[in-house]
Amino acid sequence: MYQEYERFGSGAWDWRFNRNVVANFALSNLRTPVSVRELPSASGVAWGSGLLPASRSGDGYTYVYGVDDSPINKQMRIARVYGSDLANGTWQYHTPWGWTLREQNSRNLLTGIANEYSVSPWGGQFLLLSQDSTEAFSGQINAWTSCSPYGPFTQKTPVYRMPEPGPYGSYWNPNVISYNAHVHQALSSGDTFIASYNVNSMDTRVSPDADHYRDPGIYRPRFFRFVLG
């Protein structure tokens, strides 16, 4: 599952979402896909922000989570495919009234998620973890719970605040941002979760005094542990 982006200018940030695709690769050649299936993309929703495999969903469906993007107040969309074949399976899209085969009829389900997030099974429920997008470049990471993998996700709970971003963050640098928090299910157990997020700088200069040249460690992923009970 891939989100394809395209450039529209020469600037460092001159790129935008283009379309959603499912690509299959052979292990012997990870450079060129064996096949590419274009998915519905007319609504502008970027699918693949998170994925819950059929082996963990409890109902035989693979759930694909998306984002209706905007600078702030990004919104959650949900799709599913029975089984695990995203390339050839029938995609269904969630609405407040049930499931539809038309992506254009899908609806936003939760405000305040990020471009990347995760949904994980937890104690008979499902845990949604995401950076807070109700404010630009927020350092707050929140969790929600639901009785099903398609929501509604409620009981919003702050679980961690990323210390790095912003002029008053740990780098004391307004160019530093953090984003795309999600749980690593394979590293988590019981009520204890391991999550990660990304850190970057908006300083795109190619110069010895540019942020990434002075401190390459800015770009390293960060991990944290949290416990829910």
pLDDT the model gives residue 71: 84
Q: What is the per-residue pLDDT across 131-181, written as a single tens digit (0 to 9) for each? A: 999 998 899 999 999 999 999 999 999 999 999 999 999 999 999 999 999
- Share the mean pLDDT of the chain: 95
With vertex at residue 127, the alpha carbon angle to CA 96 and CA 180, rounded to the nearest 5 degrees, is 95
- Which stretches of the chain score pLDDT less than 70? none
pLDDT the model gives residue 70: 86
Q: How far is CA 144 from CA 80, 113, 121, in A?
A: 20, 10, 12
Whether pTM > 0.85 for this model: the answer is yes
pLDDT the model gives residue 172: 97
pLDDT the model gives residue 219: 95
The candidate with the shortest Cα–Cα distance to 198, out of 175, 182, 213, 215, is: 182
pLDDT the model gives residue 40: 87
